[in-house]
């Protein structure tokens, strides 16, 4: 949902910056790589240490590269399959680092095995949710469904909660509870989204298989009719001779 509306807004906002980078000779692939490196470094340096506020600030600065690189490619007219592949692949790396950072905190100084497991589930389910769509599309299905919690929602919910929870170190009481709540929301929402996509792929595949079977039957009937007509014409020709 957020991906549908927020992406269009931020694309317009970041267009001048994308044009500036192009004029400086920066390539979209370089922006993708630098952005991912920044997200990974911010997540794996700050989050395991419990520095959620500063980690969120660093990650947020770099996470917008996901919008800038595509904008640059469109402006330069160099959109490619390679660029799309690189972008999608590194998105998974960045997501893994963010939730991996949460898991490392709860496995260490955070000292909460349940929340560590929830963070790992968020990491894994996010990867599988993305895979189900990619796999469905690879076998020719549209996978036409807007899931409850997609990548944009996962990032916004978890990062906003982490940033606010980080204010606990500045003396704001009780606010650190927001991160556990956010992780549970992302975990449950990702599970629902996975179910939505699996059900959609099952329905679309059944419809596609039924359509293919019907087309095959019609083609077979047409061939049989053509053969019968040919035999009939041949028989008439023999009688005439």
How far apart are the C-alpha atoms of 93 and 35, rounded to whole Å?
Answer: 11
223 or 102, higher pLDDT: 102
Per-residue pLDDT, 200 = 95
92 or 10, higher pLDDT: 92
Per-residue pLDDT, 239 = 57
Per-residue pLDDT, 128 = 95
Q: What's the chain's average pLDDT?
A: 88
Rg (CA), the chain: 26
The distance in angstroms from the start CA to the end CA of the chain is 74
How far apart are the C-alpha atoms of 78 and 120, rounded to whole Å?
Answer: 37
45 or 69, higher pLDDT: 45
Average pLDDT in the 45-64 region? 95
Q: Where are the beta strands (DSSP E) in 111-238?
A: none
How far apart are the C-alpha atoms of 47 and 59, rounded to whole Å?
Answer: 11
Average pLDDT in the 122-135 region? 94
Average pLDDT in the 160-181 region? 95
Q: How sure is the predictor about 77, in pLDDT bands with cuts at 50, 70 and 90?
A: confident
Among candidate residues 82, 83, 13, 52, the one with its CA nearest the CA of residue 160: 52
**Highest mean pLDDT (candidates 22-36, 75-89, 114-128, 218-232):** 114-128
Per-residue pLDDT, 214 = 86
Q: What is the DSSP string of 58-113?
A: HHHHHHTHHHHHHHHHHHHT---HHHHHHHHHHHHHHHHHHHHHHHHHHHTTT--H
Q: How many percent of the chain have pLDDT more than 70?
A: 89
> Between the CA of residue 205 and those of 137, 150, 212, what are the distances in Å?
11, 22, 10
Average pLDDT in the 36-43 region? 96
Which residues are the active-site residues? 91
Average pLDDT in the 170-178 region? 93
Average pLDDT in the 177-205 region? 96
């Amino acid at each position: 949902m957020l991906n549908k509306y927020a992406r269009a807004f931020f694309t317009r906002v970041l267009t001048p910056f994308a044009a500036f980078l192009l004029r400086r000779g920066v390539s979209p692939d370089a922006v993708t790589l630098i952005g991912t490196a920044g997200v990974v470094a911010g997540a794996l340096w700050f989050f395991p240490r419990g520095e959620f506020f500063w980690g969120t600030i660093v990650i947020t600065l770099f996470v917008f590269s996901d919008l800038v690189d595509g904008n640059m490619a469109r402006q330069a007219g160099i959109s490619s399959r390679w660029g799309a592949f690189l972008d999608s692949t590194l998105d998974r790396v960045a997501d893994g680092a963010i939730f991996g950072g949460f898991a490392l905190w709860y496995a260490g100084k955070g000292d909460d095995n349940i929340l560590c497991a929830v963070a790992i589930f968020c990491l894994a389910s996010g990867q599988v949710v993305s895979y189900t769509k990619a796999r469905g599309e690879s076998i020719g299905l549209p996978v036409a469904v807007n899931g409850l919690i997609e990548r944009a929602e996962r990032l916004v919910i978890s990062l906003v909660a982490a940033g606010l929870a980080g204010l606990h170190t500045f003396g704001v009481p009780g606010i650190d509870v927001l991160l556990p709540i956010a992780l549970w929301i992302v975990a449950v929402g990702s599970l629902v989204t996975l179910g939505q996509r699996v059900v959609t792929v099952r329905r679309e595949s059944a419809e596609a298989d039924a359509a293919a079977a019907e087309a095959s039957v019609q083609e077979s009937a047409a061939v049989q009719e053509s053969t019968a007509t040919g035999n009939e014409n041949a028989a008439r020709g023999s009688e005439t001779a």
